[in-house]
A and B are shown apart, each in its own frame.
Chain A
Amino acid sequence: MTVNMERLRALLLRVEKPSRYTGGEFGAPDLKESAFNFCICFPDLYEVGMSNLGIKIVAQSLLNRGHCADYCFTPYKDFGAGLKEAGVPLYSLGLKKPLNEFDMLGFSMQFELSYTNMLYMLDLAGIPLTREARKGGNWPVIAVGGPCAVNPEPLADFVDIVFVGDGESVDADVADVYLKHGGATKEFYEEISRLDGVYVPALEHKVKKAIIADLDGAVFPDGFAVPNCESVHDRAVIEVMRGCYRGCRFCQAGFIYRPVRQRSVKTLTGQACSLIANTGYDEVSLNSLSTGDYPDLRGLLKSLKENLPENVTLALPSLRVDSFAGEFAQNARRISLTFAPEAGSQRLRDVINKDITEDEILKAAESAFDTGYSSVKLYFMLGLPTETDEDVEGIGRICALIKGCYKRKKRQKPLRISVSCSTFIPKPFTPFQWEAQVDETEIVRRQQLLVKSPHMKGVILSWSDDFTAKLEAVLARGDRRLGKVLLYAYENGCIFDGWSRELNKEGWLSAFERAGISADEYTRARDENEVLPWDFIDIGVSKKFFLEERRKAYAGEVTGSCLASCKGCGMQKVCPAAGGVK
């Protein structure tokens, strides 16, 4: 069955941005049903999900093997309510097929605060939320992947399969096994549970992260579906590297995407050119966790400049600015420079292994001001382990120094500094996975310390909501018992929890209470001997390494980049930088 869009016309005319729900994007593959029909579900709005590269890669890998890979995004409340009212189930954008008619739904979990949106999508599709309730029925297999899958326990009650690690081939492998067994049989689950990168919560087994050895030869789409309405990152994206050499101790991505793998200048140039030709975008973003560490960045930029049509600009996120990048930035019409010192003092930056000095920040700001920038964005975290008031005040100090530097340039245009202070969230698979999250009252006090600092005068300051940060921390290090809380929170109407204007704090508090679970139990410090809910997943980096890094953090010792020398994180055998792969 397909949903008749004509029947939805009155609804579409009533809601905000109806083109979120109509599909038919230019460049979207012409889908046909196949023996295995997969729908990628993104637990956020169309314009957020359409910017995600991971789901495009997963879809391409399935399409390459002859499977059907469709898309669906979380409808905003207006459309969701309208569907319910009209008795129309949530449908995929390509085939307009109700989600419950697919063989498998794959949810891409990018962050913890989108968990309830997954439940919302299942609910709108008329699919029972829990595995228990689906038992024996003819429902799609519910799978999750993405960074949150490294601790899938809070979702364990709801999902049948968890994909851990790189999604380039394992998703399609599972599809093949499904077809071999003629559906989601007991044998199917047993067989896939033996694959690297597949966790079947019902079987409670150990699992090893899936790793693709050759990123250069890995699946990559040569065109994107161009979103109907403007997406949050509406541009072509190439993935320069996966993983990060730096090992900042708070950063989950820096550990779970190890080892660092790169694509060659030739491959990247080819991918950028075909994306631009096929999408009509005028901007290419060079994505990775630290694009500045790409060994031949100069060569890559040169090759892209030479081969891309003129009028196509390059976007370099999270770049460490040195002289040549400054010179490059000049013709890339960037107006704002972004730094992420993360902590206000050198002492605390050493604790978190953030290898950047005040001097470097100021030098980079100075060269940026010289090339015409007049706007600086700074990212910090509050509540990092060992943080004192002095460290918090250090944030103001950096701002004052930058202001002084700009003043000396005697520029006409006023300087614009924006500072964003998010609350530190201890995440699984980091050296800080045992740390307590600083409680809400204390975080608010530190935020106020900053707000009242004389150095912050004229600085645009933003910070994270204390309850949102706590909720994220609870879910990030959660266990299976939190399934109840999620379910109750959803029943209380909690969705789009990551949006400040949608956050329903009362709904969450009453869900915790009803489940008889204290949130504080999850934000507390963990004992090093404690069995952690995510211990059964082998991410590749050893626990011994995390413990050693934690010890060094407290000693204020910097580990530094893997490029300087191998730090022995446990991935030496598969890490190109460590010489583990030829």
Chain B
Amino acid sequence: MIAFRYTKTDGAEYLSHLDLMRHIDRTMRRAGIKTAFTEGFSPHPKIYMNNPLGLGIRSVAEYCSVESAFDGDFKTLFNAHSPRGIKCLGFIVTEENPNYAYTIESCTYTVEGLDFDARDLLDRDELVITDKRGRTADIRRRIYGLEHEDGKLRFTLGCGQNNLRPDLFCEIIESMYGGKAENLLKIAAHGKFTF
């Protein structure tokens, strides 16, 4: 099993999750890295992605695992055959499938243009929002961390079970404190198998 961290930048942020999966599959094929296939009527490659990133959000912390016996320089070979913006930053070889969609618990992002008192938000016990369908939810417990650093807001949100979309979070901040979120970037994911 090869697990790798990769980017979704330089135009690749506009790819849908399904298209991204196809591009990773094709990159492997072009690179000649053989992946295992599922059994059955229509076999498909055993590629396991992390949870979908919202369309248009850039990231330098996407994770993926593929079942493959390949044992060479994965990063160099992958990057020689991958589309622009989908570039491997590092990889590990592992016995256990990291299955990032289930094991990543939170993600950290940076964004520009949201200048407000982080303390004010963190001191709240609850933050109830109403979605488009009229359902209410307390999202405070999904916000793990929040700080201003070098003119950017750096924040960590729950992922998976405790998920909060970063673009939605930015919209909430805009509506509460004003400002205009720009250059949202996912910079890290946290879980048992991230690196």
Q: Kindly specify which of A20-28, A169-177, A410-418, A542-550 makes contact with the partner chain.
A: A20-28
Q: Is B27 an interface residue (CB 8 A)?
A: yes
B14 touches A279 (CB 8 A): no
* Inter-chain contact B15/A228, CB cutoff 8 Å: yes
Contact (Cβ within 8 A) A26 B41: no
Known: A13-B56, A26-B83, A228-B19. A18 touches B14 (CB 8 A): yes
Q: Which of A1-40 contact B (CB under 8 A)?
A: 5, 9, 12-13, 17-19, 22-26
Q: Report the bound CA distance from A309 to B33 in whole Å.
A: 12
The residue in chain B whose Cβ has the minimal distance to the Cβ of A309 is: B29
Residues of B within 8 A of A311 (CB): 37, 43
B16 touches A280 (CB 8 A): no
Distance of A509 Cα from B183 Cα, bound (Å): 48
Are B30 and A280 in touch, CB under 8 angstroms?
A: yes
Contact partner of B10 among A13, A24, A26, A234, CB < 8 A? A24
For A230, what are the chain B residues with a Cβ–Cβ distance below 8 Å?
A: 18-19, 22
> Number of A interface residues, CB 8 Å?
27
Q: Which 4 A-B pairs rank lowest in CB-CB distance, beginning with the nearest?
A: A280-B26, A280-B29, A26-B83, A280-B30
Provide the bound-state CA to CA distance between A103 and B43, in Å: 47
Within 8 A of A (CB), among B1-46: 10-11, 14-16, 18-19, 22-23, 25-30, 37, 41-43
4 additional contacts (CB under 8 A) given A23-B11, A229-B16, A281-B26: A24-B11, A26-B81, A228-B83, A279-B30
- Which A residues lie at the B interface, using CB under 8 A? 5, 9, 12-13, 17-19, 22-26, 226, 228-230, 234, 276-282, 309, 311, 333
A524 to chain B, nearest CB (A): 48
Q: Tell me whether A277 and B30 are in contact (CB under 8 A).
A: yes
Q: Does B85 contact A (CB under 8 A)?
A: yes
- B contact residues around A9 at 8 Å (CB): 56
Of A5, A18, A226, A280, which contacts B56 at CB under 8 A?
A18
- Residue contact A280 to B28, C-beta cutoff 8 Å: yes
CA of A253 to CA of B37 in the docked complex: distance in angstroms? Answer: 40
Interface centre among B23, B27, B30 (most CB of A within 10 A): B30
Q: Is B194 an interface residue (CB 8 A)?
A: no
Q: Is the pair A229, B56 in contact by a Cβ cutoff of 8 Å?
A: no
Please name all residues of chain A whose beta carbon is closer than 8 Å to the beta carbon of B15 when the two chains form the complex.
Answer: 19, 228-229
B79 to chain A, nearest CB (A): 12
B165 at the binding interface (Cβ < 8 Å): no
Please judge, given known A-B contacts A229-B16, A280-B25, A333-B42, whether A26 and B84 are in contact too, CB under 8 Å. Answer: yes
Q: How far is the CA of A278 from the CA of B27 in the complex (A)?
A: 10
What is the minimal beta-carbon distance from B70 to any residue of chain A, in angstroms?
15
B92 within 8 A of A: no
- Name which residue of chain A comes closest to B82, CB basis: A26
- The reply to whether B16 and A19 form a contact with Cβ atoms under 8 Å apart is yes
Which residues of chain B have C-beta atoms less than 8 A from A228's C-beta? 11, 14-15, 19, 83
Whether B29 contacts A282 by the Cβ 8 Å rule is yes
Once the chains are docked, how many angstroms separate the CA of A13 from the CA of B84? 19
Considering the complex, give the chain A residue whose CB is closest to the CB of B15: A19
Q: Is the CB of A18 within 8 A of B19?
A: no
- CB-defined A-B contacts under 8 Å, sample of 26: A5-B11, A9-B56, A12-B56, A18-B14, A18-B55, A19-B14, A24-B11, A25-B83, A26-B23, A26-B81, A26-B82, A26-B84, A228-B11, A228-B19, A228-B83, A276-B29, A278-B30, A280-B26, A280-B27, A280-B29, A280-B81, A281-B26, A281-B29, A309-B29, A311-B43, A333-B42
B50 CB, min distance to chain A CBs, angstroms: 19
Most chain B CB inside 10 Å of its own CB: which residue of A226, A277, A280: A280
Chain A residue with Cβ nearest B30 = A280
Closest partner residue, chain A, to B28 (CB atom): A280
Contacts of B43 in A (CB 8 A): 311
Roughly how many angstroms separate A5 CA and B85 CA in the complex, as a whole number? 15
Which residues of chain A come closer than 8 Å to B22, judged between CB atoms? Answer: 230, 234
CA distance A230 to B17 in the complex (A): 12
Do A279 and B26 touch across chains, with their CB atoms under 8 A apart? yes
Contact across chains for A24 and B30 when beta carbons are under 8 A apart: no
Closest chain A CB from B25 CB (angstroms): 7
The smallest beta-carbon distance between A75 and chain B, in angstroms, is: 14
**Least Cβ distance of B159 to chain A in Å?**
21
Residue of B nearest to A17 (CB): B16
What's the minimum C-beta distance from A440 to chain B, rounded to whole angstroms? 40
Q: How long is the Cα–Cα vector from A26 to B10 in the complex, in angstroms?
A: 13
Give A251 to B18 CA distance when docked, in angstroms. Answer: 38
Residues of B contacting A17 in the complex (Cβ-Cβ under 8 angstroms) = 16
Chain A residues, Cβ within 8 Å of B27: 26, 280
Chain A neighbourhood of B16, CB < 8 A: 17, 19, 229
Cβ contact within 8 Å between A229 and B84? no
Do A24 and B55 have beta carbons less than 8 Å apart?
Answer: no
Q: Could you tell me the distance between the alpha carbons of A17 and B26 in the complex, rounded to whole angstroms? A: 20
Chain A residues with CB under 8 Å of B85's CB are 24
Complex CA distance for A220 and B185, rounded to whole angstroms: 41
A229 lies within 8 A of B81 (CB)? no
Residues of A contacting B25 in the complex (Cβ-Cβ under 8 angstroms): 280
Q: Are A226 and B41 in contact (CB under 8 A)?
A: no
Chain A residues closer than 8 Å to B81, beta-carbon distance: 26, 280
Residues of A within 8 Å of B14, CB to CB, are 12, 18-19, 22, 228
Are A226 and B26 interface neighbours, CB within 8 A? yes
Whether A333 pairs with B28 at a CB distance below 8 angstroms is no
Q: Closest chain B residue to A281 by CB distance?
A: B26
Give the shortest distance, in Å, between B117 (CB) and chain A (any CB).
Answer: 27
Q: Which of A17, A19, A25, A333 has the most CB of B within 10 A?
A: A19
